[in-house]
């Protein structure tokens, strides 16, 4: 009988430890989207960085190259 109680206690402790490990992984962004960075270069950017480091919204990169 005591072995059954011991196995139940061990399984509950392991389950609780796995749950804590899962919560830590979610909190530390371990489940980030790994596919998005590959496709980000194909997206159109509406925000362009000025040479001074300021960001401008609404201008395209092609306009900046043309000098518009």
pTM of the predicted structure, to 2 decimals = 0.47
Give the model confidence (pLDDT) of 1-44 as tens digits: 999 999 999 999 999 999 999 999 999 988 887 788 787 777 77
For residue 12, how far is the Cα from the chain centroid?
A: 30
Q: In angstroms, rounded to a whole number, what is the distance separating the alpha carbons of residues 14 and 8? A: 10
Beta bridge partners of 48: 56
């Amino acid at each position: 009988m005591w072995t059954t109680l011991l196995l139940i206690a061990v399984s509950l402790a392991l389950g609780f430890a796995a749950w804590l490990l899962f919560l830590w992984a979610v909190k530390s962004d371990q489940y980030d989207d790994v596919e998005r960075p590959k496709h980000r270069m194909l997206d159109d950017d509406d925000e362009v960085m000025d040479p001074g480091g300021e960001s401008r919204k609404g201008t395209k990169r092609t306009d900046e190259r043309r000098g518009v």
